Homo-oligomer: A and B are copies of this chain.
Amino acid sequence: MRKAKPNITELECIEENKVRSVLNRMKSESFFHDLAETFSAMSDTTRVKIIYSLCLENELCVRDIAAIIGTSDSAISHQLRTLRNMKLVRYNKVGKMIYYSLDDIHINNLVAEGLRHVDEK
Residues on A lying within 8 angstroms of B by beta carbon are 11-15, 18-19, 21-23, 25-27, 31-40, 42-45, 47-49, 52-53, 56-57, 60-61, 63-64, 67-68, 87, 97, 104, 106-107, 109-111, 113-118, 120-121
Contact = CB atoms under 8 A, between A and B. Distances in A.
Nearest to A54: B22
Nearest to A12: B67
B44 A36 contact: yes
A63 B12 CA distance: 8
Contacts of A31: 118
Max count, chain B CB within 10 A of own CB: residue among A18, A107, A116: A18
A37 B115 CA distance: 12
Given A13-B63, A37-B43, 4 more contacts: A35-B114, A36-B47, A42-B43, A110-B117
Given A67-B12, A67-B13, A42 B34 contact: no
A51 to B, nearest CB: 9
A67 to B, nearest CB: 4
A14 B110 contact: no
